[in-house]
Amino acid sequence: MARVKGTVAAQRRRRRYVRAAKGQFGHRSKRYIQARRSVEKGMVYAFRDRKARKREFRRLWITRINAACHESGISYSRFIKGLNDAKISINRKVIADLAVQAPTVFKKLVKIAKEGKVTEAATVKKEETAQKAEKKASKTSASSKK
């Protein structure tokens, strides 16, 4: 039986790795084994760093928002809470861009967050809990009278 050699396919496979390692230093761009090792390691880094980039940008946006908030006299956490209570859903990327590009619009957001929206929501919650407590108390007193 004749032996089958996969020369063409093997060469193509090897060439693919060497071409992918083009531009790297020394034997990494010339020899197959080093090129393959280097390319595969690069792919691992690329996968990892695609995830890391998202974290890094979120940290950057939060830092920018925090700096702009402190200039306006409010903390970052109170600002975000105020926006949530005012039912304004803007992502941090847009808020950070507004803080850098359009400070007047950002100041309006800060004003909304600082305003009575937070206190109104808090007072509504307090009133609701007080009403629930009264209902509960009236039910227990009615059942104890029986």
- pTM for the whole thing? 0.64
Instruction: Please give the tally of structural domains in the chain.
Output: 2
Question: Tens-digit pLDDT profile for the chain (146 aa)?
Answer: 788 777 888 889 999 999 999 998 999 998 999 999 999 999 999 999 999 999 999 999 999 999 999 999 999 999 999 999 888 888 999 999 999 999 999 999 999 998 855 455 555 566 677 777 777 777 776 666 65
Range of 36's domain?
Answer: 10-114
Q: What's the pLDDT at 104?
A: 92
**Residues 62 and 28 occupy one common structural domain:** yes
**Residues 61 and 124 occupy one common structural domain:** no
**Residues 92 and 53 occupy one common structural domain:** yes
Q: What's the pLDDT at 10?
A: 87
**Residues 83 and 143 occupy one common structural domain:** no
Is 38 inside any structural domain?
yes
Is 3 inside any structural domain?
no
Q: Which of 110, 86, 106 is nearest to 95 (CA)?
A: 106
Report the CATH number that the domain containing residue 45 is assigned in CATH. 1.10.1900.20
How far is residue 106's CA from residue 73's CA, in Å, rounded to a whole number? 13
